[in-house]
Structure 1
Amino acid sequence: MLENLGVSRPAEAIYRAMLRHPRHGVADLAAATALPASQVRDALNELGDLALLKPSDSAGLGLRPVNPKVGLAALLAAAEAEAVAKQAQVETARAAIAAITAEHMPTAEDYGAMHWQGLDAVRSRLEELQLLTETECLSLNPGGAHRADARSAATPVNQQALERGVVIRAVCRDSFRNDAETLAYARWMTSKGGQMRTVPTVPVPLVVIDRRIAMLPLDPDDPRQGALEVSDPGVVATACALFEQVWSVATPFGEAAPADENGCTPLERTLLEIANTGCTDVVTARRLGVSLRTVRRMMSDLMVRLDATSRFQAGVNAAKRGWL
């Protein structure tokens, strides 16, 4: 029990025996503990070194056991002090490990990445990158209608890029077509040689410059938090692949979104897919970028066409008919 205090088991047995029988000699202690005399002597020397035995003033007694409240308390205090010192050493080692790790840990810069905090910083950096663009600018734009100030800032930069022969391809949400000013901007862009398409929902904000730099949101659900600028070839290639996949199914501005063989438009199909996940009308309207009234009107029309009396039944019937 006292080994954690540096007292061996034989020494503890002898100490306990001496506390019960202070006048026992070596032979008596050996008999009481069933230890050989040589081990008893070793234990007595150990107890003396630990200050658990002291010389006795009584005639005929060589040593006396120290009161455990005093002797063992001193050993306990020493053990606690040693534990504190060891813990301090552990914490020092932990700090050293952290420092060494930090020195050799790859940073965002090591992966060709930079953080841009806040929307203003992102816009400023994008304006700078657009001026440096040499061949191509790709973008996915999941937000709402273009703000007037954003259009004003982007127009001269985009015009200069197009005049330099830069290819600009942008994908926006179908709901952009419902905003007159955004639609006018899109017409201006396409008249200058830019290419713009729309899809019902855009997965994530994304800008790729010359297929060597990608701007990705720090938080896809809140682009206002800022962006991560990445030049790592693997990440940029993945971003380009995502863009091309979305671009391949998008509808060019100036063209009506084609209906499939079931007469279902991409927007209607996406509405069914979102509704099938259990999203409310409010969430669905926000994801599609349309009004709540539009969502309810479209859903009501789809239910009639699918011979459904509920949204759940509409989803089931749509799946059966191959609409989803």
Structure 2
Amino acid sequence: MLSDVLGLTPEEADTYRTLVSVASATPAELAELVGLNPLLVVRILGRLEGQGLAARSVGDTTRFVASPPAAALRALLIQRQNELNLAELELDSLDEIYRAATLGRGAAEVVDVIHGTETIRERVGHIQLGARKEVMNFVKAPFFSSGNLTDGAVIARGVRYRVLLERAMLDGGSLSFDEIAQAQSAGEEVRVADAVPLKLFIVDRELAIVPLLGSAHAAKAGALLVHESSLLDALIALFESEWEKATQFVTSAGALPKAPAIDDLGVQILSLLLTGFTEQAIATQLRTSLRTVQRRIRHLMDTAKVQNRLQLGFHAARLGWLEAEQDGNTRV
């Protein structure tokens, strides 16, 4: 924690933490306690002394004592906070300069071309980490990026994530029900459509990345980076249109205020059923038996007082059974 927050190296943080735990110590004694080379500890103590975290003992200048953590570390923390505040002001200034420059973009500058899978992956990760308000994502096979479906650190900052999955992602095993459930529990909103028109990644309605090829053509992979323009507006409108038509993917009964007394498994079965999965496919996704799925669907139809699955879907949609209070990093 000290190394992450206050800018100390791991060795400096360990040395200071150890020095705090003893009355005083020589560099040799401290090196033995920390398990580092004595010469390295001498250099570390010099840096800690320069930062006000350590001082020589008044009675014996060959020994070192730790400065009181509450005072010494608070001073460093305030310094780091001031640096972050200045960096934020600089960022705002640069952002204003960037926005002013984008207003003068010509037609040829609205779209940049990104070449190579690794470059695309890095660019997606970079703009995702910089998201301030919202990430919008069309997901279809094949993946050519790795990692979890959700970037929890970005969501933790209050960034909204909306992901529209093509149903084939689940049919083909590219994604599992458990992965989607984990993403939703982290705060991601997920919907499913029979098909999505293209791969798409939009951040803050200011930038969009449109991957052109997947992992099957890694050597030729490319993507379009679209800046603010009427083209970006069209991509945003496309996302919103497809999002409205898609089926919400719900995994927890607790998020459904309009649903009748259905448990989590019942909600999961209904959610997969309404996205077009067969009973056998539902059983496979939920790792349960076909008989259990059939029995649960029969119970849902009895609850809705309908005779078939089509009527069940219509009834559930009309009454808003799967309308969650809140839906739910994304892959490209």
Please say whether Structure 1 and Structure 2 have the same fold, judged by a TM-score greater than 0.5: no
TM-score in terms of structure 2 length: 0.40
Name the structure, 1 or 2, with higher relative contact order (CA <8 Å, separation 6+): 2
TM-score, normalised to structure 1, is 0.41
Q: Which structure: greater helix fraction?
A: 1
